[in-house]
């Protein structure tokens, strides 16, 4: 257990819908990163939030957006869902400024788009 | 942009066999290197990391990895595997100027037969 929690565990949506995934970071961590892990592939970086602002983004379209709250928890929002958005979504938290900046991953939310 | 290649997608070993999983990355500058493990039904966990110094890095559960700069490689090794090592293993790279963005390889699924 890392102390990073995500909700919900599983989610089924239909194409065109919108979804919100949630992440609570580990105590003492102020940075949250989101990753998408498609079946049979490694995680791909979506974006990172630090001090409630997006602070780095991977190769994902604008319909992927996020928020970070004052307690450092975070949301990932995906609009206009597509079939290819079906994946495991991972949240990772870390403490910016620490020497190792190690990221601790949550268990993930498995999203299925029909 | 950096990329990571893991050459073995599936590996099957018997208990007590030696393990070596390959990882090559492409990036022209200094990188931080990681190996993560994902046991069945569990979250991603850090096995070991390399930031600088001794290129032979020891991690948890008897794993080690060697950074060979000239070959852009960071192979994972374990002298004698156990059934409990059955898992998926991911190599990841982080450029120092890339914030928290980890670039993962596609993963290697290891099955250890008892």
pLDDT in tens, chain A (114 residues): 568 999 999 999 999 999 999 999 988 888 999 999 999 899 999 999 998 999 889 999 999 999 999 999 999 999 999 999 999 999 999 887 655 568 899 999 999 999
Chain B window 22-41: which residues touch A at a Cβ cutoff of 8 Å? 36
Question: What pLDDT, on the 0 to 100 scale, is given for residue B97?
Answer: 74
Cα-to-chain-centroid distance, residue B62: 13
CB A101 within 8 A of CB A93: no
Report the alpha-carbon distance of residue B62 to residue B78 in Å, rounded. 6
Question: What pLDDT, on the 0 to 100 scale, is given for residue A102?
Answer: 81
CB B33 within 8 A of CB B67: yes
CB contact under 8 A, B102 and A4: no
SS (H, E, C) A29-71: CCEEEEEEECCCCCCEEEEEEECCEEEEECCCCCCEEEEECCC
Of all residues in chain B, the one with the smallest CA distance to A103 is B100
CB contact under 8 A, A107 and B43: yes
Q: Can you tell me the mean pLDDT for B74-91?
A: 97
The half-sphere exposure of A81 on its side-chain side, counting CA atoms within 13 A, is 21
Report the alpha-carbon distance of residue B54 to residue B66 in Å, rounded. 9
* pLDDT over threshold 60, residue B102: yes
> Which of B53, B99, B102, B103 is best to mutate for the A interface (most A CBs within 10 A)?
B99
Q: What backbone torsions phi and psi does residue A83 show, to the nearest 5 degrees?
A: -55, -35
Interval B13-60: pLDDT, tens: 999 999 999 999 998 788 899 999 999 888 999 999 998 899 999 999
> Who wins on pLDDT, B80 or B51?
B80
B101 inside 8 A of chain A by CB: yes
Give CA torsion, residues A46, B69, B6, A101, to 10 deg: -30
CB contact under 8 A, A43 and B90: yes
């Amino acid at each position: 257990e890392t102390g990073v929690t995500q909700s919900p565990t599983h989610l089924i949506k239909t194409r065109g819908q919108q979804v919100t995934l949630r992440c609570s970071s580990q105590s003492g961590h102020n940075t949250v990163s989101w990753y998408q892990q498609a079946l049979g592939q490694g995680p791909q970086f979506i974006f990172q939030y630090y001090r409630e602002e997006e602070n780095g983004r991977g190769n994902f379209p604008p319909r992927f957006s996020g928020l970070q709250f004052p307690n450092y928890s975070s949301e990932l929002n995906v609009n206009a869902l597509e079939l290819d958005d079906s994946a495991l979504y991972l949240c990772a938290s870390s403490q910016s400024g620490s020497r190792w900046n190690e990221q601790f991953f949550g268990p993930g939310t498995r999203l299925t788009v029909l | 942009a950096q990329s990571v290649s893991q050459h073995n997608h599936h590996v099957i070993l018997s208990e007590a066999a030696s393990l070596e999983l390959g990882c090559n990355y492409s990036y022209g500058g200094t990188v931080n290197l990681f190996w993560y493990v994902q046991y069945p039904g569990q979250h991603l966990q850090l096995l070991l990391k390399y930031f600088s110094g001794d290129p032979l890095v020891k991690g948890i559960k008897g794993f080690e990895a060697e950074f060979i700069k000239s070959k852009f490689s960071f192979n994972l090794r374990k002298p004698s595997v156990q059934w409990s090592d059955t898992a998926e293993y991911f190599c990841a790279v982080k450029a120092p100027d890339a914030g928290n963005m980890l670039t993962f390889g596609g993963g290697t699924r290891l099955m250890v037969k008892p």
